[in-house]
Structure 1
Amino acid sequence: MMAMTFSPKFRRVSGAASGESTVRRMALVAGGAAILALGAVGGYRLVAQVEGDRGIAPLANSEDIQVNGIKVDVTAKTGAEARLEGWKLAQKEAWKKLGGPDMPVEAIDAMVSSVVIGQEQVGPRRYIATLGVIFNKARAGQYVGAGGATIRSAPMLVLPVLYSGGVQQVFEVRGPWQRAWAEFQASQSPIDYVRPVGAGGESLILTAGQASRRSRLWWRNVLNQFDAASVLIPYARLERQWPGGPIHGTFTARYGPDNTFLGTFEMDAGSEQELAGMLDKAVQRMDGLYRDALAAGELRPDPTLTTSGQVLDRAFAELRTKLMPKGGAPIEALPQEIVLPSSTPSPVSTAPAETVSVQFASPDAAAVDAALAAVRGVPGVRGAATMSLAVGGTSVMRVTVEGGSERLASALRGQGWKVTSGGGALRITR
């Protein structure tokens, strides 16, 4: 609050007109200073919303076979020997969890790529730890693992919502629920998880309030930024009995722009030190719920998010039909204020969809966005996503389009692109 005092000597200089002019100038100066102050504060608040230590980069998915949560307690002559024996014991236990055949420790060790240390305590003669073991898929895959083709989901954006202490958050701070999802090894899951980092502007777009939005236009803009077909919303509600004491967690799996319920479960942690382990197990159980939903055919992308307005046109046509009088009265018989438009929606194409590879020059990020926008704007395109991104070179996108490559090429030529075909692919240039 800014207080200003005007001295009486400024009220009259050379007559009433001069006094009024002086007061008016002083008022304008005060107003300008207030506006500048508000602008400075507003700019600081905008910067403060995106700065700070936030965002956790997800682990790169590996095709290797990983087993977590192996607990060992080994004693030996020295701490180093106990640690080595603990690692060997963890490898044997992990191999048993995978259902592998009986093999010597040396043979199992030859298939191990690395040992992941969750927690460990090394004493003079004792080693206590929680470990994870990663097996090389090329070597261990012949003994363990299911063979055959696996049905995978469409790319799904993950929006992990944490409710703790009466506050909902996603990426506003580095939360334990976000970290658990970032460290989840999703290579063995049929769900194609798209996990944002959560830094910068992502924390402004992907918030807990976003899960309650129903606007398809808003969701389509958000999902297009991450090349995702739909969204998964895993909720975690943490209730602490007292500071440093037991923690009760309620976890709920939801998906889609309508926040559809899939399942829920509860877990408990004895203290803050056990919270990370509980959340890791919760992510695995959440993945199981999404696996079951995919197998049951429930985890399908919303067609209003992936099609180029065709489903919306069909829905509007059905609504128009329902609003028509049941007796079949002509449009002219209706009152003037509720006369429906006479134009009919364009017929929905029934041509089979084909997958087409499109090559395009990508000197910078703007060129990539322009090419994707042009292809997605073609009628009949169901989806377009980059398969190979090379900034400064030639990128490749995969396009699912009704009518095949000829229809896509014709539509792009109409937009001003130069299109050449060869080798079962299209190449587009400006």
Structure 2
Amino acid sequence: MKPVNPSDFVVPAPRRRFRAPMIALGVALAGVGGWYAIAQLAPGDRGVAPIDSSSNYEVTGVQVDVAGKTADEARTAAWRLAQRKGWKILWGRMHGLGPDAAPGVPDSTLDSIVAGIEVEQEQVGPHRYIATLGILFDRGRTGEMIGSVNGTPHSAPMLVIPVEMDGAGPVTFEQRSSWQKAWARYRTGQSPIDYVRPYGNGPDPLLLNIGQANRPGRLWWRALLDQYGASDIVVPEVHLQRRFPGGPIAARFIARHGPDGEVLGTFTLAAPNTAGLDKMLDQGVKQVDDLYIQALNGGRLKPDPSLTIEEPDTPTDDLLPTTADDPLASVISGIDQNNATIQLETGDVATLDQAQAALRAVPGVQSASVQSLALGGTSLLSLTYNGDLAALKIGLQARGWRLEGSGTALSMKRGGPAPAPAAAPPAPPTPAGQPKP
């Protein structure tokens, strides 16, 4: 290798990404295209949009050092070399073998399956190009070429709540943090863990705050998981300790799982200064993901059964015999299962919990789950019950709630008149000759 002469290079270019180039047509330097790293938000806005997590395979840290007649010629040759190296690394990773075992692929084919090239670090000279690159491969096209791989189990959808502790106190989505940005940068498409990564805007800071991350109660977790389309929770934590401003940063990472915060593993990393914080956190995300993958393969990353709403068992024929001659058969056949949607004004979580508890306490109610949650507004409850609507209204009145409406659209409010008392039986007739009472 030719020794590096510092005078041959200009100032190192900053990290940037390029749309997948068709190198045969030239090097395209402009065009980030349909994928991005972090959403650029206006000052004061919350939220970090995760990068695409399903369409690309990523191979990072591909080093190249190529000389050429011109700077463009050296860069083009280096990118072609990076594509070849990246393909071999990806094939070996997917098959559990070394890069040397990967089959050769023509450059024209690599041009068609490479979705993008990420410049992690580069030095550009008039006749030489030295860089560390990341190669993005299109999942659909590359998957056909990789072939069948030994199946790896995939997890249930996991809601990610990243917790960062850095001097001022723990935060999740209350404000944008370096840990949240690291999880947004991470490409989860290559992981068997199905991560559900909230943006952190809208209602996320209210619903997924640090208090919720530490709350063991299952009732509220069920509503949140249904809202975000997940089945379980993972809470990756990072504890940052800064020795002095601008100095080294020590970090302790904890991989937690489930509403009880089960610890699946811990490790520590360090950054030499503030400039190396993002790189350390990116490495921390990858190692936390490895801990979750190990737990998945070991059978420890299973959804908590208490997070699943179980329907009551229906009586079997052995426990409740009904025959044509049985008088109870006509009664049972006359009870139909009904479904309804209930509108409920939910100013806080306690109101929702109390309303669901009152519904489930009424005889005949099979389930009362949250269909749409709106704190401070009107939430929707999905109700399944046996019997008629009048009996349901009377049962709720006895528990301090009023149910209005008819059919499948109902409205539930607190309070209401108590059920009317039963009429007194008529007095027996007075025998003749006796004075009336």
TM range (shorter): 0.5 to 0.7
Amino acid at match of 2:59: V
Give 2:272's aligned residue. Answer: 270
Instruction: Determine if contact 1:55/1:199 at 8 Å carries over to the other structure.
Output: yes
**Which whole-Å CA distance do the structure 2 matches of 1:96 and 1:107 have between them?**
14
> Cα offset for 1:146?
4.7
* Residue 81 of structure 1, aligned match among 73, 77, 81: 73
Give 2:197's aligned residue. Answer: 195
Instruction: Give the count of matched residue pairs.
Output: 291
Give 1:53's aligned residue. Answer: 45
Q: Does 1:183 align with 2:175?
A: no
* Residue 304 of structure 2, aligned match among 302, 316, 321: 302
Q: How big is each residue's C-alpha offset from its partner over 1:389-419, in whole Å with a ceiling of 9 and x where there is no partner? A: xxxxxxxxxxxxxxxxxxx89999999459x
**Which whole-Å CA distance do the structure 2 matches of 1:187 and 1:294 have between them?**
16
Q: Which runs of 5+ in 2 are unaligned?
A: 1-42, 93-101, 317-355, 373-383, 393-405, 410-437
* Residue 168 of structure 1, aligned match among 167, 170, 195: 170
Give 1:116's aligned residue. Answer: 118
C-alpha change, 1:155 and 1:78, in structure 2 (3 Å) is same
C-alpha change, 1:102 and 1:219, in structure 2 (3 Å) is same
Give 1:31's aligned residue. Answer: none
> Cα offset for 1:203?
1.4
Within a 5 Å distance, the mapping from 1:231-250 to structure 2 comes to 231-250=233-252
Amino acid at match of 2:172: V
> Cα offset for 1:142?
3.9
**Which whole-Å CA distance do the structure 1 matches of 2:282 and 2:49 have between them?**
16
SS across alignment from 2:170: strand
**Which whole-Å CA distance do the structure 1 matches of 2:308 and 2:47 have between them?**
28
Within a 5 Å distance, the mapping from 1:96-115 to structure 2 comes to 96-98=88-90, 99=92, 100-115=102-117
Give 2:135's aligned residue. Answer: 133
Give 2:413's aligned residue. Answer: none
Q: How big is each residue's C-alpha offset from its partner over 1:103-131, in whole Å with a ceiling of 9 and x where there is no partner? A: 34444333312213344443444444432
> Cα offset for 1:254?
0.4
Q: Does 1:155 align with 2:157?
A: yes
Give 1:25's aligned residue. Answer: none
> Cα offset for 1:138?
3.9
Amino acid at match of 2:235: I
C-alpha change, 1:244 and 1:172, in structure 2 (3 Å) is same
> Cα offset for 1:380?
7.3
* Residue 72 of structure 1, aligned match among 64, 70, 81: 64
C-alpha change, 1:112 and 1:211, in structure 2 (3 Å) is same
C-alpha change, 1:302 and 1:125, in structure 2 (3 Å) is same
**Which whole-Å CA distance do the structure 2 matches of 1:202 and 1:227 have between them?**
14
Instruction: Determine if contact 2:366/2:385 at 8 Å carries over to the other structure.
Output: no
SS across alignment from 1:181: helix
Within a 5 Å distance, the mapping from 1:334-349 to structure 2 comes to 348-349=313-314
* Residue 95 of structure 1, aligned match among 57, 81, 87: 87
Q: Does 1:289 align with 2:291?
A: yes
Give 1:371's aligned residue. Answer: none
Q: Does 1:144 align with 2:146?
A: yes
Instruction: Determine if contact 2:174/2:205 at 8 Å carries over to the other structure.
Output: yes
Q: Which runs of 5+ in 1 are unaligned?
A: 1-50, 311-346, 352-373, 386-407, 419-430
Indicate the percent of aligned positions where both proteins have the same amino acid. 45
C-alpha change, 1:139 and 1:124, in structure 2 (3 Å) is same
Give 1:204's aligned residue. Answer: 206
> Cα offset for 1:257?
0.6
**Which whole-Å CA distance do the structure 1 matches of 2:79 and 2:133 have between them?**
8
SS across alignment from 2:285: helix
Q: How big is each residue's C-alpha offset from its partner over 1:311-349, in whole Å with a ceiling of 9 and x where there is no partner? A: xxxxxxxxxxxxxxxxxxxxxxxxxxxxxxxxxxxx645
Amino acid at match of 2:111: D
Amino acid at match of 2:88: K
Instruction: Determine if contact 1:237/1:249 at 8 Å carries over to the other structure.
Output: yes
Instruction: Determine if contact 2:54/2:139 at 8 Å carries over to the other structure.
Output: no
Within a 5 Å distance, the mapping from 1:243-258 to structure 2 comes to 243-258=245-260
SS across alignment from 1:232: strand
**Which whole-Å CA distance do the structure 2 matches of 1:172 and 1:150 have between them?**
35
> Cα offset for 1:271?
3.0
**Which whole-Å CA distance do the structure 1 matches of 2:147 and 2:213 have between them?**
36
**Which whole-Å CA distance do the structure 2 matches of 1:78 and 1:412 have between them?**
84
Give 1:216's aligned residue. Answer: 218
Instruction: Determine if contact 1:101/1:143 at 8 Å carries over to the other structure.
Output: no
Amino acid at match of 1:153: S
**Which whole-Å CA distance do the structure 1 matches of 2:408 and 2:278 have between them?**
52
Instruction: Determine if contact 1:152/1:191 at 8 Å carries over to the other structure.
Output: yes
**Which whole-Å CA distance do the structure 2 matches of 1:382 and 1:52 have between them?**
35
Q: How big is each residue's C-alpha offset from its partner over 1:44-88, in whole Å with a ceiling of 9 and x where there is no partner? A: xxxxxxx92221011232243221232434443433233223322
**Which whole-Å CA distance do the structure 2 matches of 1:264 and 1:76 have between them?**
47
Bigger shift: 296-305 or 218-227?
A: 218-227
Amino acid at match of 2:64: V
